Every structure is written in structure tokens, then in C-alpha cells.
Amino acid sequence: MRIAYLHSGSIPSVYANGIHVMRMCDAFTEAGHDVTLYALPGSYPADDPHAYYGTRHRFPVRSVPAPDTGAAGYRERAARVSELLTDGAAPDLIYGRDAYSLALAPDLAPLVYETHLLWDDPDIRRAERELLARPSLARVVVITHALARDFRQAHGGPGTPPVLVAPDCADPPGSYPAPPRLPGRPGVPRIGYVGHLYAGRGIDLILDLAGRLPGLDFHLVGGTPEDRARWEEPGRLPNVYFHGHRPPGAVRAYVPLFDVVLAPYQKKVYAAGGLGETSRWASPLKLFEYLAHGRAIVASDLPVLHEILQDRVNCLLRPPDDPAAWVAAITELLADPALRRALGDEGRRQVLDRYTWRHRADDVLAGLH
């Protein structure tokens, strides 16, 4: 099947949406489909997006710029994407996270729209209404049951296409580049965090924990230089190491180096630039990477995370506003290797059974062939 994937973000970039989109296109390609990705030009300097993201398969990535970042600019870009879709062999399916381009796509094939939040931008909401009114829209894909319920409440009605829940995923651990050499004290347990340093991601909690647990080394992998400076400079601690942004294809090599990994989401979680509060609907990529590598996880006890995480089954869940409970959880895991191993083994088993990108690719395409 020929799949045109329409993405509203840039490739390559430092943002998680780019990782998700490249992993999905990689999985579609692995499943034997002919995929072309249409994205904004890269906002991060990388000559080869496939090497940057660490994809296992290659597929065309076509850069389609927008004249500006307003609604008119995105609609003009959508019109250009439509022209490109009619240039050559027609796709059998048009899939994507770009409401503007999907709403204006030519009637060449069924449409599938994926969204990871309820947009509050009125222009995007208008594009979504246009898209949802199209008879060719076969289904909507969301990442959590919480988002499915809210999406149906916001957009449901006669003729609304089915909404499919497909959580984020991870690839099974494979061969990676040589593991990085981490700074820190020899023999000291390593506590890891992988991800951005945005508001609501719990970076202040991690720094609090580092101050309470001076005998442990804390490593934070990710974050733009601006966000890193915001956290690193004001409260420098000798047992905290900020590694900054790393290519997504290289980040996986860090996770196995940590004894315990953290997902300290706060009650309100924001995307880049403080836009979009997503704590009600999140399906964090980092959690699946942690699970896939069999790491012992301490995560925030947020309702949406219960869709994937179970306390003392595949992680330890603790209140995001109770640092003492996090100290106790980390201390328990470090003192009990059997518990760490049991939680990690169960997490890895769950990923391999149901949360791989290939599973997800097959699920979102089921019945569309």
C-alpha cells in the first residue's frame, strides 16, 4: 500500500512529535508499505534524518515549507501538499497529524487523522471540523482512552468516524552505537531521566531529589540549550549531570546505563513553549523506552498513566508533589535488586507483547487495506 504521511512539524527537529512520526513511518515501511513523509523543513541541523532518528528503514522525506506560521500560511502549505499528492502515483492512504493538509487533501484515498491532544487553537479547530466533515475520513487515532472520551465529547455526532486508541510505543532493544561514557563517581548508582526540560516535566522534583540523595548521581538527557541553562545554572549540584539534547537515535544507548529511571510528570504538563497542557491525555514516549529496556521506573501517579503503568507490577507510582515518597521509592529499588529486575522484566514483556511500533502500525491500518 502507498501511504502519504502528512506532518505539520519539522523533520528533523528536537521535538517528540518528530520522533513519533519517524518511528511510525519506519514501522509502516517495515510492514511492507511504500511510505512518503511530507513535513516542514528541518529545524535542527542534521544532514540525514534517518541517521539522526535511528530509523531501521529508509523512506522519502519531502520538505514542504510554509510561507509563515499563521493559519493562512499553513493553508497555503496544505494546498502545496495537495499538489504534490497528485504528482505521480496516487497514494492508497493519506495518514497524518496535519489537520490543515488532511482537510484540503484531494479525494485520492481514505484519510486517517491522528491527534495527541484537544487543540485550543481556533484555526486548528476549524481545520479539524472541515476534516471531520469529509466522507473520506476513515478514522481518528488518539493515544489514550482519556483523549478518546474527550474527543468524542468535543466532536462526536452523526457521521463521526470511529476513534481508535493506539498508545505510543518503543522499538525492541537492538544494536546501538557504543554506549556513552557517563561522568560521575565510580560505583555510585545512576538515576536517569530522558526527555525535555519543559514546565511540568518534574525537573524541579529531580533537583530536589538530588539534594536529598547526595550519594546518588542524577543524569538528565535532553533539553534545548535555553531550557538546560534555566535549570542547570541557578542550582548547580555536584551529583547532577545535564547531558543536553542528543539525536533520538543515540538516546536509546543511555537508558540501559541507569539503575533507576524517573518520569516525574507534574499535575500540569506543557508542550514546547508552554503551549498545550497535556497531562490529561499524555502517553509519554519515554515511558515506553524505559519499559522496553527493562528499567525500574518511578513515575508520577497521574490518572492517564494508569492506562499503561501499574504500581508494583511494572513500576512504582508516587504522588508528583511528595518528594519524600520519591526518595523512599528510589531507596527501596536500589536496596532490592530482585524488585528492580521483576518490574523491569514485566515492563519489557508488555512492550514486546503489545507496545511495539510495528504492532501500532498494524493496528492503525487494520481494515483499511
Over residues 264-321, the pLDDT tens digits come to 999 876 665 555 667 889 899 999 999 999 999 999 999 999 999 999 999 999 999 9
Inter-residue contact 136 to 111 (CB < 8 Å): yes
The per-residue pLDDT for 272 is 58
Q: Is the pLDDT of residue 334 over 60?
A: yes
Quickly state the pLDDT bin for 235 (edges 50, 70, 90).
Answer: low
Residue 133 CB contacts under 8 Å (≥ 6 apart), including other chains: none
Over residues 349-361, the pLDDT tens digits come to 999 999 999 999 9
Over residues 59-103, the pLDDT tens digits come to 999 999 999 989 999 999 999 999 999 998 899 999 999 999 999
Q: Report the chain's mean pLDDT, rounded to a whole number.
A: 94
Q: Is the pLDDT of residue 209 over 90?
A: yes
Helices (H), the chain: 16-30, 49-53, 71-85, 99-104, 122-132, 145-155, 203-212, 225-232, 248-251, 285-292, 323-335, 337-354, 357-365
